[in-house]
Amino acid sequence: MECGATAEQVRQVLETLGSAGVRAQVQDGAEALHILAPHASKALKPDRLETMGGVRKVVPITSPFKLASSDSAPGRTIVDVRGVKVGGPGLALVAGPCGVESRDQLFATARYVAEAGVKLLRAGAFKPRTSPYSFQGLGLEGLKLLEEARAEFDLGIVTEATELETFDAVERTADLIQIGARNMQNFALLKRAGRSEKPVLLKRGPSATLEEWLYAAEYVLSEGNRNVILCERGIRTWSDHARNTLDVSVVPAAKALTHLPIMVDPSHATGRRDLVIPCARAGVAAGAHGLLVETHCQPEKALSDGPQALLPSDFLQLVHQCRAIHAVLREATVPTGLAF
């Protein structure tokens, strides 16, 4: 739109699009206000819009990732999760147990997470499990405990939404809604997340290409939710020393294609406690905007993923080392034209 376009002019453009059956989004950037209509087909003639008041130009979106593409935003997106800025110059840390198991377990873990200066707590109330006979999470009771932990330790809550039926409940509790790797192409779930007011953490599927991952983000963005954080969590390969293969190069590769922030989950990427800290460091060094880490007050008693959960003392080491690397990177000059 023109610089001085009025609210009424914007409304009229949206109405015109709407009457043509095209949903649109308003993006109010620093330099200009854009109206984005990713679902518009080629049948929509630009002339009709270009003659309207306040319209500067109609530009076709050529990238297949219409809203996720770097071209579609003036700079990098910064997602605010209860005060934590993800995608900016800081390092966003999210930590906690795989699943909520009990108040004691959750609080004991949350306590040392908070003491380490970490502001976001992760834990699943609903757990997607390979076998129908495995522990499936505490459900609503788990969400209640997460809310108590937020109040007690002043921590933002990151928890997974696994299906439409319980999405509303997860959405009410979460400060950041996680979409798990197995649901990366659960399009109904993505669309629901796209209609949420809460930011979304979108894990990469175990065999998803970067392109497919960005298309999945596009499902969320195209429904109107602009606050999407990507999270690399290891891919499935034949390499068998770890549960998955951390694809660390996807961090700079994603940053070259999209304005969305990207985090790394070294816990699921490795499945082995002794590999988590080196891989967390690698993720930060590769340029990730944050980390999602599993830690448990008593890993040997964990109901799921115990072997990959960091002990409290190791967790402190991870935070210490990763912050040190991140600080060094901020100071080091970065060559022009290179992904950082």
Q: For residues 177-196, which are near its own copies according to CB under 8 A?
A: 182-183, 185-188
By the 10 Å C-beta count (0-12 exposed, 13-18 middle, 19+ buried), 27 is classed as: middle
Q: Among residue numbers 320 through 339, which ones bind its own copies (CB under 8 A)?
A: 320-321, 324-325, 327-329, 331-335, 337-339
Rounded to a whole number of angstroms, the minimum distance from the CB of residue 130 to its own copies is 5
Looking at residues 115 to 134 of the shown chain, list those that interact with its own copies (rule: CB under 8 A). Answer: 128-133
For residue 274, state whether it binds its own copies (rule: CB under 8 A).
Answer: yes
**Cβ(96)–Cβ(78) under 8 Å?**
no
Binding of its own copies by 262 (CB under 8 A): no
Tell me the closest approach of the beta carbon of residue 160 to its own copies, in angstroms: 12
| Chosen residue from 35, 200, 201, 248 binding its own copies by CB under 8 A | 248
For residues 91 and 250, which CB has a smaller minimum distance to its own copies in the complex? 250
Look-up of token digits 């997470």: 113
- In the window 281-300, what residues touch its own copies (CB under 8 A)? 281-287
Task: Give long-range contacts, CB 8 A cutoff, 24+ apart: 34-43.
Answer: 34/1, 35/1, 35/10, 36/61, 36/66, 36/67, 36/72, 38/66, 38/67, 38/218, 38/221, 38/222, 39/222
Among the candidate windows 50-58, 99-107, 112-120, 243-251, which touches its own copies by CB under 8 A?
243-251
Give the DSSP H or E segment for 284. Answer: helix 273-285
Q: Which is nearer to its own copies, 88 or 278 (CB)?
A: 278
Stretch that binds its own copies, among 1-9, 77-85, 208-216, 296-304 (CB under 8 A): 208-216
Candidate residues 10, 123, 200, 235; the one interacting with its own copies per rule CB under 8 A = 235
**Binds its own copies (CB under 8 A): choice among 8, 47, 165, 300:** 165
Q: Which is nearer to its own copies, 66 or 122 (CB)?
A: 66
Q: Is 224 in the site for its own copies (CB under 8 A)?
A: no
Residues in region 55-74 near its own copies by CB under 8 A: 64, 66
- Judged by CB under 8 A, the stretch of 20-28, 97-105, 109-117, 233-241 that binds its own copies is 233-241
CA dist 231 and 258 (Å) reads 13
CA distances from 82 to 54, 119, 150 (A): 36, 9, 11
List C-alpha distances in Å: 197 to 45, 57, 68, 97, 225: 32, 30, 18, 25, 7
Structure tokens at 243: 């549960």
Task: Compute the least distance from the CB of residue 12 to its own copies, in Å.
Answer: 25
Please identify, among the stretches 22-30, 112-120, 145-153, 317-325, the one whose residues bind its own copies according to the rule CB under 8 A: 317-325
**156: phi then psi, degrees, rounded to nearest 5:** -70, 150
Residue 209 binding its own copies, by CB under 8 A: yes
Is 133 exposed, middle or buried, given 0-12, 13-18 or 19+ CB atoms closer than 10 A? Answer: exposed
Q: Which DSSP symbol is given to 88?
A: S
